[in-house]
Structure 1
Amino acid sequence: MTEPIRLSKRMSELGLSSRREADEWIAKGWVRVDGKVVSELGSKVLPHQKITVERQAAAEQSKRVTVLINKPVGFVSGQAEDGYKPAVTLIKPENRWLEDDADEQFHPTQLRSLVPAGRLDIDSVGLLVLTQDGRIAKQLIGENTDIEKEYLVRVQYTRPGKLPDADLKKLNHGLWMDGKPLLPAKVRWQNDDQLSFTLKEGRKRQIRRMCDMVGLKVVGLKRVRIGRVKLGDLPQGQWRYLRPDEQF
């Protein structure tokens, strides 16, 4: 016997919406189960039941924007803390990249519920995604995400000689953090003092801590790619819209 599950959870599993969006749509009468409108929050469905949404829901979803920003040092990803400004404060017309060719027009309402899909440390720079779209947030930071994130990391070796190959192998696989093994990573030298890290997880200050374990000191860290979306030539402190043809 298959257990019934919450309609909003099932909609999220099917990729129709985020759970919060689903609850909004259910309350507005925009969701049908097997052709019948379901407007009671907390309603449950069986996995085989057919869920459809009204056109208004799709139209509302398509208005939700996703913004890419090249975050400078000194800005936090999310809420303001310790006197530091959040990256969202950079999203204003004068900071929009002149080469952004998206048709989207900036409007202050886009700043409402624009949340970071992932974090980037205050002393790191590079690609940060802010989105109003729950589906994108789930794709990038949901518990089952396997989206790659690529970083360029400038380092100094704090021990005599140079980093042994065995320690480079450890950075790729074999380190533990907070009592758990890290997922395999792709770490390789770009040049004498710069490594490329490609990760599928993002524990707090993970790259800096990994480097510390093998005697490397991080002197600069820049995120250059999330999934298939690259930072490219976007200047530091500027932003652009995610284009309709781009997918993480």
Structure 2
Amino acid sequence: MTDRNLPQDDAVRLAKRVAAQFGCSRREAELYVEGGGVLVDGQPIEESGARVHPQQQVALRPGARPEEIPPVTLLLHKPPGYEAGLGGAPANAYGHAHASRSQGAPPALQLLHPDSRHAGDGPPVRLLHKHFRNLSCHTPLPTEASGLVVFTQDARVARKLAQDIETLEQECIVQVAGRIAEGGLARLCHGLEFNGRPLPPIKVSWQSEQRLRFALKGIRPGQVPAMCAAVGLQVTALKRLRIGRVALAPLAEGQWRYLLPWERF
């Protein structure tokens, strides 16, 4: 926050000003700033490197503490047309490569901003700029698909998703076209092969005349459309509703919320 009408040579870093004014260490000053606890001329500033002038008023929010900001996990309802993957261009659930950003698919990460936060996001959490940095995604989803995607700064959550994604049950709603073969629903539940290997039992049920619910573990790229094709159906849309015990509801497309402290995948 710099006033161009003020001389620039007397400006100092905000963290330095906070440390001098409130008698704390430079690191504590940085924590005050990054935690949203510092006001400059009445406005919150979260960049410890911001420059301030002697004429500007610097204050601490009531109750502000110089504490480390815990890492957060954000749950996003990704709309179709956005890329959410681990990098590169792996095959997706439709059996072909993800559209990369160079091919025009924008990253789902760009949907994570203050204005798209879900209004009923549990207990109050002070939204900080730092919450949108260093986020990683370990729950890739096809560009054409929609539904739950997880972005996290928390190494424990990242490790859980990376190590256990094969054993976490995922629930999807699959829009299909065509006419299912006789006995096709039973074969979807058990009896099909994929890539030359028998598939384990899977929970599949009709939600409507053109919508199937899949609940399965260890889903492979292209598996769902291949299963549907084997019984005469074509996948036209796919939406992920749940990963483990964490559900998509009540997020609308493009909205996100914080993973709550008591939620576990």
Q: What TM-score, normalized to structure 2?
A: 0.64
Letter of the structure 2 residue corresponding to residue 234 of structure 1:
L
User: Within 5 A, what are the aligned runs for 1:41-80?
Assistant: 63-78=70-85, 79=87
Letter of the structure 2 residue corresponding to residue 89 of structure 1:
Q
Distance 1:235 1:145, change over 3 A: same
Deviation at 1:144, TM superposition (A): 7.1
1:141 is matched with which residue?
Answer: 162
Contact map agreement 1:91 1:239 (CA 8 A) in 2: yes
1:227 is matched with which residue?
Answer: 244
Greater shift after overlay, 119-128 or 137-146? 137-146
Distance 1:144 1:129, change over 3 A: closer
Letter of the structure 1 residue corresponding to residue 172 of structure 2:
Y
1:214 aligns with 2:231: yes
* Runs of 4 or more above 4 Å deviation: none
For residues 214-241 of structure 1, give each alpha carbon's deviation from its aligned partner in whole angstroms, at most 9, with x where no partner exists.
2111122111111111111211011000
Contact map agreement 1:121 1:205 (CA 8 A) in 2: no
The SS at the match of 2:261 is coil
Q: What TM-score, normalized to structure 1?
A: 0.68
Contact map agreement 1:77 1:120 (CA 8 A) in 2: yes
User: Within 5 A, what are the aligned runs for 1:28-39?
Assistant: none
The SS at the match of 1:127 is strand
Cα RMSD, aligned residues only = 2.1
- Residue 164 of structure 1 is aligned with which of 162, 166, 182? 182
Deviation at 1:197, TM superposition (A): 0.1
Separation of aligned partners in 2, 1:108 and 1:179: 48
Separation of aligned partners in 2, 1:181 and 1:131: 34
Deviation at 1:143, TM superposition (A): 5.6
User: Within 5 A, what are the aligned runs for 1:17-28?
Assistant: none
Greater shift after overlay, 168-177 or 125-134? 168-177
Deviation at 1:174, TM superposition (A): 2.4
Letter of the structure 1 residue corresponding to residue 186 of structure 2:
K
1:187 is matched with which residue?
Answer: 204
- Residue 254 of structure 2 is aligned with which of 225, 228, 237? 237
2:194 is matched with which residue?
Answer: 177
Letter of the structure 2 residue corresponding to residue 63 of structure 1:
P
Deviation at 1:176, TM superposition (A): 2.1
Contact map agreement 1:183 1:200 (CA 8 A) in 2: no
Contact map agreement 2:137 2:152 (CA 8 A) in 1: yes
The percentage of counterpart residues that share the same residue type is 41
Deviation at 1:120, TM superposition (A): 1.0
Structure 2 residue runs without a partner (length 5+): 1-66, 88-99
2:117 is matched with which residue?
Answer: 96
The SS at the match of 2:242 is strand
1:200 aligns with 2:217: yes
Structure 1 residue runs without a partner (length 5+): 1-58
Separation of aligned partners in 1, 2:171 and 2:121: 22
Separation of aligned partners in 2, 1:177 and 1:145: 16
2:23 is matched with which residue?
Answer: none
